[in-house]
Structure 1
């Protein structure tokens, strides 16, 4: 289907508190426990475990508090650490909401029985069905596309076609990508396994390694900088990094971004790879109504437009307007697949990367 661009972890050392006393300020400290959670009325709080570490998210939490009087406490860590913490805490947890990136990670949380379905007609109206878990164990918050970026000086957009085309001889010594240990790359390859099969996924990884301009090094921004330095001509990047660089206060970083183009591959085949950030209600949430209210707010037009304008991700709410930088890249067709499959194929993706020599 054709959609516009709006359709669509290291354990932190500190516990960030926004508002309520009830969570400690030391790293990893446990929120204060009540003697009988079931017997007490909900407080005006919501406790969030998040693997997203963005200032835009924090501002949305503050806006929510100003509008509702519900204080938001935030614990930041890697997603896997937070899932294990939820399992360990069980019914005694103070966590109400789990936020993370990647459909496979969200599926892992669901499979570990630390979540419960979100029941909200408002959320169902604000978030399309394809951007929610089929049983509503998680709800999309934002999306980002993993695209091909290219040197405007050395590459014409018409020279680009598909992810698979990057393995052809014309790109030998010109392709840049970050490490295979990166979850974004693992999920990209997992999507190929789901759509094209393991053999085709192996051929793709082998072909990309053959065409590397250099060994994988650094993050997505570093791939763009390597294009600017002439190390390579094309790179695999997430769109939101391009948006962040274009609006960076660092003049050199902004200049790099102004000299690269964004290309949505596979528009004539199975679409561009898109991954998701999601919101999930914890299984033993002590402040369930507050948590659902926060999910409703975070998927509202107001919050979605703020997140998109400040973190350059695509909104999940189709009524939210895009910032100019995202709309300037045009519309695109995205892959159609169940986000759960990204987690199901993760181990095989890592195996394929290792076999190909993608370090």
Structure 2
């Protein structure tokens, strides 16, 4: 049921009062960099499922360049989607951002996006990393790949996804729980590439290969390889890069022994997912929302995300900064990330049936 006008004003006011400021653009992003931005060029209300402190630098930079303040609400992707649905056409949300293509697809299916038909966005982001009709765009990539014990595993033993489910690794695999969106998107991609029969065989092989019941996050899986609990682990690339380049000497020592492999899907490259966002369906500040998206697609913003959160830029024209550059020479599968969400329910049912908890 729509909120009364006074409630809407109160909510928008609450946004403006306490929450954070935003980041900016450059000539490639469509934002102006010449001169001093206006002292108050309005606001953009951001609902974000990304929870990285480094993102605050993006929003601060956006405000610095444009004068547009970013009011930020953080939360779980599904929680934010539910909130936007409840708010209906009175929602103050201008932009919704999530760290998974499947979550963006769910928001789109719920009618929570409107197209941002910006040539700046279309030129900056490859077609396979955005929704075909402009409802959402990817701004950074992460590969879902393999960490392996270099003393026990040869690189050629983990250079395809099929090999991860082979008898060679019975009782020697670590992975986080099945219901995490990173695993759901991976299995959804396999369903898209292989169909249900081969994918279910693969999932059953993964379950048979578990060294322990799935638990923890991706960094826990890498550390488990280092501790000898398993020989291989499925992980996102940026978690490994964080450990390898972080301040913890113990983690850096682990990555001197545990290496990263980029398995190929049907000889076409490693599975990648995105962080991205789109303009909310009832955005009260549409123009500012598009400006924020254009900034996030800019070389400056993509470089900042890569440098500070160890993700890969979405655009192939953006130079990958250190420390990510050391892990950048790999082939990424060209599958459209827009296909993941449509198959996640099927992936969840298949994984549950196979016993991946």
- Quick check: TM above 0.5? yes
The structure with the greater share of residues assigned to helix is: 2
Cα distance in 2 for residues equivalent to 1:285 and 1:161? 45
In structure 1, the partner of 2:148 is 150
- CA offsets, 1:8-39, max 9 Å, x none? xxxxxxxxxxxx9644559xxxxxxxxxxxxx
In structure 2, the partner of 1:187 is 185
In structure 2, the partner of 1:285 is 283
Structure-2-length-normalised TM-score: 0.86
Q: 1:90 deviation in Å?
A: 2.1
Unpaired segments of 5 or more residues in structure 2?
1-12, 20-39
- CA offsets, 1:37-95, max 9 Å, x none? xxxxx951111000000112111000111111111110001111211222222222211
| Number of aligned positions between the proteins | 325
Q: 1:117 deviation in Å?
A: 0.6
The answer on whether the counterparts of 1:23 and 1:73 sit within 8 Å (CA) in structure 2 is yes
Q: Secondary structure at the match of 2:339?
A: helix
In structure 1, the partner of 2:311 is 313
Q: 1:114 to 1:268 in 2, by over 3 A?
A: closer
Q: Secondary structure at the match of 1:81?
A: helix
Structure-1-length-normalised TM-score: 0.86
Alignment of 1:46 with 2:49, yes or no, is no
Cα distance in 1 for residues equivalent to 2:314 and 2:253? 30
Q: Identify which of 130, 135, 138 aligns with 1:137.
A: 135
The answer on whether the counterparts of 1:126 and 1:318 sit within 8 Å (CA) in structure 2 is no
Alignment of 1:302 with 2:305, yes or no, is no
Cα distance in 1 for residues equivalent to 2:79 and 2:335? 27
In structure 1, the partner of 2:269 is 271
Q: 1:296 deviation in Å?
A: 1.1
In structure 1, the partner of 2:354 is 356
Cα distance in 1 for residues equivalent to 2:226 and 2:333? 29
Q: Identify which of 258, 265, 281 aligns with 2:256.
A: 258
In structure 2, the partner of 1:213 is 211
- CA offsets, 1:110-133, max 9 Å, x none? 111111111222222211222111
- CA offsets, 1:285-327, max 9 Å, x none? 1111111111111111111111101111111122221123333
Unpaired segments of 5 or more residues in structure 1?
1-19, 27-41
Q: 1:286 to 1:320 in 2, by over 3 A?
A: same
Q: Identify which of 96, 111, 114 aligns with 1:113.
A: 111
The answer on whether the counterparts of 1:267 and 1:333 sit within 8 Å (CA) in structure 2 is no
In structure 2, the partner of 1:240 is 238
The answer on whether the counterparts of 2:161 and 2:265 sit within 8 Å (CA) in structure 1 is no
The answer on whether the counterparts of 2:219 and 2:239 sit within 8 Å (CA) in structure 1 is yes
